[in-house]
Amino acid sequence: MIDYVNLLNEEQREAVTATPGPILVVAGAGSGKTRALTYRVAYLLDNGVEPSRIVLATFTNKAARQMLERVGQLIPHGTEAIWGGTFHHLAHRLLRRHAALAGYDPSFTILDRADSAELLSECYEEMKLSRSEVHFPRREGALEIFGLATNRETPLDKLIAEDFPHFAEQTERLVELARLYRKRKQKASAVDYDDLLSEAVRLLRDQNSIREEYQDHFHHILVDEYQDTSRLQAEFIHLLAAGHRQIMAVGDDAQSIYSWRGADIRNMLAFPERYPECRVLYLRANYRSTPEILSLANAAIAANRFQFPKELAPVRNSHRLKPAVVSCPTANVQASFVASQIQTLRREGVSWEEIAILYRAHFHALEVQLELTRAGIPFEITSGLRFFEQAHLKDVAAFLRLATNPRDSVAFSRVVRMFPGVGEKTANRLWEEFSRKGDLSAVSPPKSCTASWNQWISLQREIASPELRQLPAAQIEKVIDGFYREQVESQHADAAHRLEDLSQLVSFAAEFPDTDSLLTQLTLLTNTDRSNSREGVHLSTIHQAKGLEWRTVFVIMLADGLFPSSRSTESLMGEEEERRLFYVATTRAQDHLFLVYPRYRASHYGENSLRPSRFLAEIPRELYSDVRPSRIG
DNA sequence: TTGCGACCGCTTTTT
DNA sequence: GCGGTCGCAA
């Protein structure tokens, strides 16, 4: 039995041991939100709830895995039967299980962002839209608009009118584009990320017996980061929870920072209206930061109107060291200030890994990166290409996709374009021929690639066999040995490196029972969380730093127009979200917090002379100390 | 189809 | 200032 009295504070204990009914837990930064959730799951299991009756929905794979691991450490039960995972994973599970009823082939493909863009390109072509058409969004922009419409459950034309008035004249063509895109996905037996959710929701809404089955089955639904759910995600959760109404939503409205991709803070604010019998519990004790840092953070968020007002109380003792606001003449001085402070801290015993530099946008880190390199300070940046999104990994995956889903036109096109002399046009012709005849060997390839073409066909046939579809690692080896090694060696100077990545893929694939589940993971597990594994000072956008903490935090580029970004401050809601972002940044710090800004920055567009961020001006003067770096860079 | 010069645009990003 | 994309020519 877990010692709830000694391991949890009173507020946490109240949440963990709450009696039946919907519960909203408003959990401040550093208040042990994850702890409360994991103990809640353990508590339920401890009290005889069957694991399979519990849903634990999170935003990231990392959060799901961490929580389930910790639950497993708390109690002897196995946690495998818990329905734990990201919203997309849960939705995918339903959709795959009831694919036929939802109108899909059970081997449907999941398109990642790049695949979606690829398919959308074909729609632009079909509509004879030049991709650089004036006053018309390009692929990424269109996908963003479509995604928002889905996540907000708003008709496209209404969304455009309200939020993209500059595209109002294009409404008809955008609606047509969305229709073609939908049609192509259907034809390819493919879904994109948003479809996973919206189709699962549609399934639950339309199929009464299935909905009732799940509503009856799931006794407890727990949701993490509820403040960042979209309307669609909240709907999905609601459909699962509506039976027993045992939903525990945990979140911090003050940390809602993803509205631009559909997160709707109103889900949280209106939770008590949706579940009138609900209880609202607060976790207000902050274990992370010094009282000085916390006072500043509390003051920073106070200006927001749309929130559950709450004041975080420090558990830690005073450090007698106030956060520093650092005014620098230029971005270069800012960079050298940060570098020299880091070296000072290092001498005082703070290790590189305990330090983070946070910023609003990646390009804000430019000068700092140069300076850290120059100063010989090791650092690590969270950004860049994700492992599974690299071209060679997607290439190999395309062979496997085609083996399980022969209707996957995106995969087909990716494979055939590897042949010499095959580009977009020929790929389309080959696809047309293949889908008409239904047999690869009946397709006539261009002369330029007859040599390897037959080799590919037999390879493709081999890996599509039922036996090999249970052995994804062997499939990949066959693809490499029978085709791709030659391809990569003739095309790329860094072939050795790529082949090494591919052998990693082989060992990764060995863990999976079949091709479908491997491919699903490849697309739904795109973010590899290497964040804590490497060495050095951590450089990160504030968005990516959510949920993390460091002993020392520098927030840089705190100048109006950069942070808050000028594009966000046109609306009140936009400005409030920027302020929440600032709040997230300050609450990452445990011991030291530096708020730094340059008064001038050389750039090739926009203003060069900068004013300190309005968020700094909102903080009472006595809560921080002013610092002017002496060294001129 | 491919390669090259011109041209645009430039916040945040998980799944 | 730079990287990605487009259009055009070979």
For A388-525, CATH number out of 3.40.120.10, 3.30.429.10, 1.10.10.350, 1.10.486.10 equals 1.10.486.10
Token output for A603: 């750039």
Helices (H), A483-613: 485-491, 495-509, 515-524, 542-545, 572-586
Are A31 and A286 within 8 A, CB to CB? yes
Are A419 and A459 within 8 A, CB to CB? no
What does DSSP assign to residue A49? -
pLDDT value of residue A526? 63
pLDDT value of residue A37? 94
**Is the Cβ atom of A427 within 7 Å of strand B at any atom?**
yes
In this complex, the nucleotide whose C1' atom is nearest to the CA atom of residue A131 is C6
**Is the Cβ atom of A66 within 7 Å of strand B at any atom?**
no
Q: CA of A603 vs C1' of C1, distance in Å?
A: 9
Strand B proximity: list residues 507-536 of A with CB under 7 Å.
523-524, 526-527
In 3-state terms, what secondary structure has residue A590? strand
pLDDT value of residue A527? 55
Q: CA of A18 vs C1' of B10, distance in Å?
A: 49
One-letter identity of residue A521: Q
In this complex, the nucleotide whose C1' atom is nearest to the CA atom of residue A121 is C5
Closest by CA to A381, choosing from A539, A534, A528, is: A539
In this predicted model, what pLDDT tens digit does every residue of A529-544 receive, in sequence order?
444 456 889 998 898 8
Tokens 């100077």 — which residue? Answer: A493
CATH number of the A291-384+533-627 domain: 3.40.50.300
Query: What is the 3-class SS of A318-376, one letter each residue?
Result: CCCCCCEEEEECCHHHHHHHHHHHHHHHHHCCCCHHHEEEEECCHHHHHHHHHHHHHHC
Which residue(s) pair with A314 in the sheet?
A: A286
**Is the Cβ atom of A95 within 7 Å of strand B at any atom?**
no
In this predicted model, what pLDDT tens digit does every residue of A157-197 receive, in sequence order?
999 988 888 888 888 889 999 999 999 999 999 999 999 99
In this complex, the nucleotide whose C1' atom is nearest to the CA atom of residue A258 is B12
Q: Which residues of chain A have pLDDT under 70?
A: 130-134, 383-386, 526-534, 603-607, 630-633
pLDDT value of residue A1? 77
Consecutive H or E run containing A436: helix A424-437
pLDDT value of residue A108? 95
Residue A564: cis peptide before it, omega within 30 degrees of 0: yes
Q: CA of A384 vs C1' of B2, distance in Å?
A: 28
Strand B proximity: list residues 550-609 of A with CB under 7 Å.
565, 567-568, 604-605
Q: Where are the beta strands (DSSP E) in A11-72?
A: 23-27, 54-58
What span, in angstroms and rounded, lies between the C-alpha atoms of A274 and A13? Answer: 25
Q: Which residue is nearest to nucleotide C6 (CA to C1')?
A: A132
Tokens 């530096």 — which residue? Answer: A594
At a 7 A CB cut-off, the residues bordering strand C are A 130-132, 138, 604-605
pLDDT value of residue A11? 94
Say whether domain A10-95+197-283 belongs to CATH 3.90.950.10: no
One-letter identity of residue A250: V
Q: CA of A442 vs C1' of C9, distance in Å?
A: 35
One-letter identity of residue A508: F
Q: CA of A166 vs C1' of B14, distance in Å?
A: 27
Q: CA of A143 vs C1' of B8, distance in Å?
A: 20
Are A65 and A73 within 8 A, CB to CB? no
